Amino acid sequence: MNSRDTTSESLSLSFAGEEPVEVSIESVDRSPCAVGCPAGVNVKAYVTLIAAGRFKDALEIVRQKNPFPGICGRVCTHPCEAGCNRARVDEPIAIRDLKRYIADWEIDNPEEAKVAIPERLFEQNIAVVGSGPAGITAANDLIRMGYGVTVFEALDRTGGMMVTGIPPFRLPRHIIEAEIKAVQAQGVEIRTNTPLGPDLTLQDLMDKDGFSAVFLAIGAHQGRKLGIPGEEAGLDAVQFLRIANLTENAAKAGDNVVVVGGGNSAIDAALMSLRLGSEEVRIVYRRTREEMPADEGEIEEALEEGIGLDYLATPLEVVLEDGRTVGLKVIRNELGEPDASGRRRPVPIEGSEYVIPCDRVIAAISQSPDLEFLGEDHGIELTRWNTFDTDEKTMMTSKEGVFAGGDAFAGPASVVDAIRDGHQAAMGIHCHLSGEPMPVPVKRAFRPGDYEVRLMPEDVTPEERVHMSHVDPHHRRRSFEEVAQNLTERQAMDEAARCMHCGPCEECQTCVSICDKKLFVTERDGEEVFVRLPMDSPAYQKAHAHLTAMLKSQDIETGEEKQEHITLEPVTAFVMEELCRGCGDCAEVCEYDAPALVTNADGKAVTKIDEELCRGCGTCTAICPSGAIVSRHFTDEWVENKLRSALFG
């Protein structure tokens, strides 16, 4: 096991009349894939379900926290894979590709839509400005909480930066439309062609239209300038991609195009230029490929399609002749000491200037929100980057009742980061209106080392990661067909089966049949700790019930022996009746017949769980649409606070 002892004691459990059973007390952290997901998706649960061929159930797990499985299955930056323990053996699990598989599986296997309209619990109405990932996620959360929600979108279509900034060959438009319509079907009103400005101000929404709170999720639709002579003759990537994505039969940018930048927008602008008819396209980046922030797979795709890459070059001037662009003057760099970003700083090499011939320059260096709609006296505090300065916990701006998130708050980021902000803002709005305390905010980023103890089997056999196929580069450089092709069913199941199921047992949720862990809870020195019983121990089969046992221990340093009576308490599920809708989904999926629908004192159908039958697998917890079922002891707060306090001091 890749773990460490968390006490200085060797422990054994002794049941009356039986031989002692050796056990261990271990720290059991959340799996690093779940820690790494900004949206809070239970990654391991849905990967395990995919391995078992339960694609519909897997999709339900994803949608509990992420309304965009098809979108994120294509364009997510997959930080979940960064911490995957499988990388210590061979390669991380292809988590993003698996998410895409189940989303596309649903399209290929349609069922009669069963749209659950959430019950209206609160009289307040919430306005969401912007129909991108942050806005739609917040709308999805708020409508499910019981609020009225109206989304205001300036464009004639929904999707925000997903539709204006991401090309269709990376993200097909029917995927965006379908996933937003699924949120809309729950009762969210969306008004397109309704921009905020002089005719509809922010104050109008709150004073005249009676919205109790406003969430500004306007994205970052304004490209930043290079700050060099002659750039007025060029384009910025935001502007170029917006025109190309929204205009039928858009004109090409030029015959010979140079894109400046190293992120995904630079790659997208270069690939879009090819598809619109440019003959030659180059990307200029001031550092090396190792420092490029763009996804490695996208860089490879660009190279396959013939995109040129000039590394270690900084633009100095757009060269003009008679007002026309004829080249981009650059200077070569060498890498110096790391800057604030942690990457080595590019240092110009004196006398190394050269000109790259071109007839169009596209700047793709960054972007910021367009705040012109606010007017001059909006009274909302902004950062020096012209983004909203919000409380990171509640997401409220300096103006009471006005919240902000996504790119307009954090600057240009990913779809999954925007989803995280949408969740956080929805909770902030709810707590602001209800007076409830704000829970601990979603962790904003995963950093290796956040979770020191990771469980990993000792005998993992290396297996090659499954990779999606791609359309032939020669064909796709002039086609808007989606480049990456989906996995087959066999590939998806085989790839999901590479998961090592690290983390606590409740997190596995529906993988009862292959679960290799049995965790119980006891109290030691006033704190709760996990006791793990080996599956082959004689006590294993008896340990599900509440049992009193003798815990024998010896201090390794002093040799002092102790013994004490303890009670093993099984992991079971329980129902919060106030949230239960009586749908019966839990009873349908439970393999042990533990949940049953009953009528409570108010005459309402609710679920009761028989703890003698419950095996604590988490299936009902995962499937419950209202979050009414909770597994004892395995809340995030318990894992984070109780466990670490007990085991690490």
Residue written as token pair 């940018």: 253
Of 327, 345, 365, which closes a domain?
A: 365
- Distance between CA atoms of 57 and 12, rounded to whole angstroms? 39
Residue 606 maps to which CATH number? Answer: 3.30.70.20
Per the domain annotation, does 449 fall within a domain?
no
**CB neighbourhood size of 572 (10 A):** 18
Which residue in 393, 359, 399 sits closest to 379, CA to CA?
399
Per the domain annotation, does 423 fall within a domain?
yes
Say whether both 483 and 545 belong to one domain: no
Say whether both 52 and 90 belong to one domain: yes
119 burial (CB, 10 Å; 0-12 / 13-18 / 19+) is exposed
Say whether both 24 and 38 belong to one domain: no
DSSP 440: P
Provide the number of structural domains found in the chain: 5
pLDDT tens digit sequence for 334-383: 999 988 778 889 999 999 999 999 999 999 999 999 999 998 888 899 99
Say whether both 238 and 313 belong to one domain: yes
109 burial (CB, 10 Å; 0-12 / 13-18 / 19+) is exposed
Q: Which residues on neighbouring strands pair with residue 325, listed in sequence order? A: 320
Helix (H) or strand (E) holding 215: strand 213-216
Per the domain annotation, does 447 fall within a domain?
no
Q: Is the dihedral of CA 231, 237, 241, 242 positive or negative?
A: negative
What is the block-wise mean pLDDT of the chain (649 residues), using blocks of 10 residues? 30 51 51 87 90 91 95 95 88 97 94 78 97 98 97 97 97 97 96 95 94 97 94 95 94 96 96 97 96 93 96 97 97 91 90 97 95 89 94 94 95 93 96 88 37 46 94 93 96 94 54 45 50 47 46 56 56 82 85 87 87 74 79 46 38
Say whether both 327 and 247 belong to one domain: yes
Say whether both 603 and 644 belong to one domain: no
Q: Which residues contact 114 (CB under 8 A, 6 or more apart)?
A: none
Helix (H) or strand (E) holding 548: strand 547-555
Say whether both 258 and 341 belong to one domain: yes
Using N-to-C axis directions, what is the helix angle for 43-51 and 489-496, rounded to 10°? 130
Which residue in 92, 87, 39 sits closest to 61, CA to CA?
39
Per the domain annotation, does 442 fall within a domain?
no
Supply the pLDDT for residue 555. 54
Supply the pLDDT for residue 531. 53
Of 503, 524, 559, which closes a domain?
A: 503
Ranges assigned E (strand) in 391-433 = 402-404
Say whether both 609 and 625 belong to one domain: yes
- In single-letter form, the type of residue at position 591 comes to E
Per the domain annotation, does 94 fall within a domain?
yes
Domain interval for residue 360: 225-365
Residue 74 maps to which CATH number? Answer: 1.10.1060.10
Per the domain annotation, does 489 fall within a domain?
yes
Assigned token pair, 243? 């025109």
* Residue 7: HSE in the Cβ half-sphere, 13 Å Cα cutoff: 19
**CB neighbourhood size of 9 (10 A):** 19
Assigned token pair, 609? 């769980």
Per the domain annotation, does 296 fall within a domain?
yes
Say whether both 476 and 495 belong to one domain: yes
Helix (H) or strand (E) holding 162: helix 161-164
Say whether both 168 and 191 belong to one domain: yes
Residue written as token pair 């003759």: 233
- Distance between CA atoms of 94 and 84, rounded to whole angstroms? 10
562 burial (CB, 10 Å; 0-12 / 13-18 / 19+) is exposed
Radius of gyration of the chain (CA): 27
pLDDT tens digit sequence for 531-562: 554 444 444 444 444 444 455 555 545 666 66
Residue written as token pair 């399209």: 107
Q: Which residues contact 627 (CB under 8 A, 6 or more apart)?
A: 64, 579
Cα angle vertex 87, ends 81, 93, to 5°?
Answer: 45
Say whether both 495 and 420 belong to one domain: no
Task: Tell me how long the chain is.
Answer: 649
Q: How far apart are the first and last CA of the chain?
A: 22
Say whether both 257 and 355 belong to one domain: yes
**CB neighbourhood size of 88 (10 A):** 12
411 burial (CB, 10 Å; 0-12 / 13-18 / 19+) is middle
- Distance between CA atoms of 329 and 286, rounded to whole angstroms? 13
- Distance between CA atoms of 574 and 631, rounded to whole angstroms? 6
* Residue 500: HSE in the Cβ half-sphere, 13 Å Cα cutoff: 29
Q: Is residue 405 within 8 Å of residue 67, measured between CB atoms?
A: no
- Distance between CA atoms of 546 and 550, rounded to whole angstroms? 13
Beta strand 527-532 with 573-575: parallel, antiparallel or unpaired? unpaired
Give Cα 154 distance to the centre of its chain: 26
Of 503, 521, 539, which closes a domain?
A: 503
Q: Which residues of 521-547 are buried (b: 16+ CB within 10 A; e: fewer)?
A: bbebeeeebbbebeeebebeeebbeeb
Per the domain annotation, does 443 fall within a domain?
no
Beta strand 222-223 with 148-152: parallel, antiparallel or unpaired? unpaired
Supply the pLDDT for residue 578. 81
- Distance between CA atoms of 171 and 163, rounded to whole angstroms? 8
Residue 272 maps to which CATH number? Answer: 3.50.50.60
Q: Which residues on neighbouring strands pair with residue 563, listed in sequence order? A: 552
